[in-house]
Amino acid sequence: MIITNTESVPGKRLVEHYGLVQGSTIRAKNIGRDLMAGMKNLVGGELKGYTELLQESRDEAIERMVHQAEELGANAVVNVRFSTSSVAAGAAEILCYGTAVLLEKEHASADTPPPLPPSEAY
C-alpha cells in the first residue's frame, strides 16, 4: 500500500478512484503518563509520554484507513490529511483521511528498491 499526501503518486499513473477512506481513533491518556507530564510541565521540555501516545494513535488511524482502502481493492491512498481534536478533557480524537485509488501495475524494473519493512512503513 502506497500512502502519500500529494494529489497523485509521483511517477505512477492513477487508473481508478474509489473515493474517500478514513480512519480515526479516540485515545485517553493514562494516569501514569499524566503524573509524569505534570512534573515535566514545571520545567518544560518534551512530554515523551504524550508524544508516544499521539504517535501510536496516529499509526492506528492510518492502519484503519489502509484497511478500508484494502477492502475497496485499492493499492494506494493519496492526498492524506490528518486532523486532531480534543473531544473531552484528557482525550483526543485523531482522524486520518485520504482518497483510495488504483495505480497502474508496473512491470518490475531492475532498479526498484525493496519495500520498506512494516515498522518503517509510515
Binding site for another protein (CB under 8 A): 2-7, 9-12, 34, 37, 40-48, 50-51, 54-55, 58, 80-86, 89-90, 92, 111-113, 116, 120-122
Which of 7/104 has CB closer to another protein? 7
Q: Determine the Cα–Cα distance for residues 24 and 84; give it in Å rounded to an integer.
A: 10
Amino acid 18 reads Y
Whole-number minimum distance, CB 19 to another protein, in Å?
19
Q: Determine the Cα–Cα distance for residues 31 and 43; give it in Å rounded to an integer.
A: 19
Q: What are phi and psi of 44, to 5 degrees?
A: 80, 175
Which of 4/24 has CB closer to another protein? 4
Whole-number minimum distance, CB 53 to another protein, in Å?
8
CB 101, CB 78: distance < 8 Å: yes
Whole-number minimum distance, CB 112 to another protein, in Å?
6
